Amino acid sequence: MTAVESKFSEQQIAQFRSRFDDLGCAQLADAAGEYITQLPIPLVPRNGHDRVCGPVFPVATRDDMLPCLQALAAAPPGWVIFIHNETEPSEGLAGDIYTASAEVQRLAGIVVNGAVRDLSDIASIPVPVFSTQVNYVSARTTDVLAERVPDTLEVAGCRIEPGDWIFGDPDGFLILPENRVSAVVAAGSVLREREERLRKAMRSEGKTLAELTGLDDFIAGTGELKFNP
C-alpha cells in the first residue's frame, strides 16, 4: 500500500465539509471553473445523505473485493473512498458491513462507480454512500491484489489523483486539486453570499432579476449587464 497524507488535518477537513454544507458544486464551478473537473457519471445517494466532500482515496477493481478492502484498511480519517469498477455490470462492492467500518474509521464518504447493496441497512449509517448501480449480489472474489492503493484513475475522461478533493451534491460531482481547495471554497462562499443578497432583494423588495441585472439598459446599449443586490 502507498502511504498518503493530506496537507489538511482531520479537523481542517471537517471544517471544509461544514463550509460545503452552505455551498454547492454550482458555486465552486462558478467561482473557479478553470480549476475544477466535472465527474460526469450518474452517481446517486443511497442512504439519505446527498452531499460529500473530502480528499479522495481512489482504487480500481474488476468485481474483486480485495482492492476495496485494501482501500478501506488504508484510507485516513476524513477521506472519501472512491471505488472504480472496471467490470460492467457491477456486483455489489460496498454494503452495510463495509459502511459500518467506514463510520468507525471516521471516513467522510464512499463513492462507487459501480454497485452497492444493503440499502435498508446503510440508511442508518451517517457515512454518505453514492453509487451508479445497486446489486444485491455481492462481489465474492478476492483474487487480485491491487498493486497501488490508492491509485490514479481515469474515469469518464476525468483524472482522479490520490489527495485530490471530491465534492458532490444533488447537482453532480467535481474534482479539485488539493492546492486549490482553500481559495476555491473561499471564492464559492463569496458567490453564495452574493446570491443570498440577490434573493433577499427579490423577496423583501420585490425586485426582479431584470431590474437587478440592468437588463433593459444592457439591451439598449446604455449599460452593462451586472448584478446589483
Taking only the tens place, the pLDDT of each residue in 86-108 is 999 999 999 999 999 999 999 99
pLDDT for residue 125 is more than 80: yes
Contact 61, 93 (CB under 8 A): yes
Q: Which residues pair with 56 in a beta bridge?
A: 80
Nearest to 150 by CA among 86, 78, 55: 55
Task: Compute the distance between CA of residue 91 and CA of residue 110 in angstroms, rounded to an integer.
Answer: 16
Show me where the domains of the chain are located.
10-178, 185-220
Assessment of whether the complete model's pTM goes beyond 0.85: yes
Distances (CA, A) of 6 to 78, 81, 111, 154: 10, 14, 19, 21
Q: 96: Cβ–Cβ under 8 A, 6 or more apart, which residues? A: 118, 121, 122, 125
Q: 156: Cβ–Cβ under 8 A, 6 or more apart, which residues? A: 39, 40, 41
pLDDT score, position 26: 95
Say whether domain 10-178 belongs to CATH 3.50.50.60.
no
pLDDT score, position 194: 87
Pairing state between β 165-169 and 172-176 = antiparallel
Distances (CA, A) of 164 to 6, 152, 160: 9, 10, 7
- Look-up: residue for cell 491491487? 146
Listing DSSP states for 79-102 in one string gives: -EEEEEE-SSSPPB---HHHHHHH
Torsion, Cα of 65, 83, 51, 173 (10° steps) = -160
pLDDT score, position 3: 66
- Look-up: residue for cell 464551478? 29
Which segments within the chain are labelled E, that is strand? 37-39, 44-45, 52-61, 80-85, 109-116, 129-134, 153-155, 158-160, 165-169, 172-176
Taking only the tens place, the pLDDT of each residue in 50-70 is 999 999 999 999 999 999 999
* Mean pLDDT for the stretch of residues 15-37: 94
Model confidence band, residue 6 (pLDDT cutoffs 50, 70, 90): confident
Q: What H or E segment, with its residue span, contains residue 211?
A: helix 209-213
Q: Which residues pair with 173 in a beta bridge?
A: 39, 168
